[in-house]
Structure 1
Amino acid sequence: MGFAILAFDSTDPSRRAESIGRHREVITRWAADGRLALGTPLFDAAFQPMGSLMILNVPDETHVKEYIAEEPFAREAVWSRFEVLPFAIATLPYRPLPQPGAPTATSRTHTISIGLDGTDPEAPPRRAAVRASHLARVISAAETGLLAMGGAIMRGQTMVGSIAITAHASDAEAEAWWAEDPYITGDVWQRVTRYGTRMVGLPYHPLPGGV
């Protein structure tokens, strides 16, 4: 299991511009040694940066604190706030993530969907009841490249939500695709938040199950 860091920028966009070079140096090093599984920006509706999603492949929060201590976006107040979520990347047949030298899109190409399960006593059984059919659907999506990465937000050993990045260029496209997923039709996700993003090439290691 690893961790997801969901971070939101301050209201001063110049801070990100001043720190971006140092940020890239840190995340390149963490990706190269396998500790950063995926790092991607969050964009608002006007395609302006509003934060970051960083998926760390580390065993405990000691390493998360190490990353935060090194991360210029945290140290130099680019991020005004962030939360750390225990996160398990699903083992799926993912296509390779973009590597250094890959072209970076000049517009939004993907959507981050964060689905939180209910907090009622029946929430875990609802997830368990449809998980197999959900997995069958996302396996196919990973094979085609539609699903770039997905996994479960954890509370101890219990899955309490999901984070998924899909190749949808708008919230509407992502919402339409997820509307047919068992986690929506089975009332597993009670609240869903979406953010625009694009992929940036880094020396990533293969994701679990990927090539």
Structure 2
Amino acid sequence: MPQFIIIARDFKDSEALNRRLAARPTHLQRMKVEKEKGNFIMGGAKLNEQGNMFGSMLIVDLPDKRLVEDWIAADPYITEKVWETVEITPFRIAEV
């Protein structure tokens, strides 16, 4: 079964970073719970040249893309309007 890579890009308005910082504790707590369930494999913030967060990358292990879409829709970064766009791509972790 493939995993999925999620590439999310933040809104670019003047309040986008403030919304991200406000939603971050709830988002990270959710990822902690999802990791314990085996749904969240790894991820983190994408950084620009100045080291500022402007998006995210996640690898998740869910049965199909529809479930990934539903899973993402419940994330605080969606509900609090941090992520403007989300790209979901099937992915297979190499067994090395």
Q: CA separation in 1, counterparts of 2:72 and 2:17?
A: 20
Fraction of identical pairs, as percent: 37
Larger radius of gyration: 1
Pairwise CA RMSD: 1.1
Aligned partner of residue 191 in structure 1, secondary structure: strand
- Structure-1-length-normalised TM-score: 0.43
- Structure-2-length-normalised TM-score: 0.92
Deviations 1:86-144 (A, max 9, x none): xxxxxxxxxxxxxxxxxxxxxx4211111100111111001011100000000111122
The number of aligned residues is: 95
Q: CA separation in 2, counterparts of 1:178 and 1:194?
A: 10
What is aligned with 2:81?
Answer: 187
2:29 is equivalent to residue 136 of structure 1: yes
Following superposition of structure 1 onto structure 2, how do residues 140-151 of structure 1 map, counting pairs within 5 Å? 140-151=33-44
Please list every run of 5 or more consecutive structure 1 residues that lacks an aligned counterpart in the other structure: 1-107, 203-211
2:26 is equivalent to residue 112 of structure 1: no
User: Of the two structures, which has the highest relative contact order with CA contacts closer than 8 Å and spacing of 6 or more?
Assistant: 2
Q: CA separation in 2, counterparts of 1:184 and 1:118?
A: 11
What is aligned with 1:199?
Answer: 93
Instruction: Compare the two structures and name the one with the higher helix fraction.
Output: 2
User: How far off is 1:179 after superposition?
Assistant: 0.8
Contact 1:116–1:190 at 8 Å: present in 2 too? yes
Q: CA separation in 2, counterparts of 1:144 and 1:168?
A: 11
Q: CA separation in 2, counterparts of 1:195 and 1:182?
A: 21
Q: CA separation in 2, counterparts of 1:160 and 1:126?
A: 12
In the alignment, residue 184 of structure 1 is paired with which amino acid? I
Moved segments of 4+, more than 3 Å: none
What is aligned with 1:172?
Answer: 66
Deviations 1:46-80 (A, max 9, x none): xxxxxxxxxxxxxxxxxxxxxxxxxxxxxxxxxxx
Q: CA separation in 1, counterparts of 2:64 and 2:38?
A: 16
Please list every run of 5 or more consecutive structure 2 residues that lacks an aligned counterpart in the other structure: none
Q: CA separation in 2, counterparts of 1:171 and 1:145?
A: 16
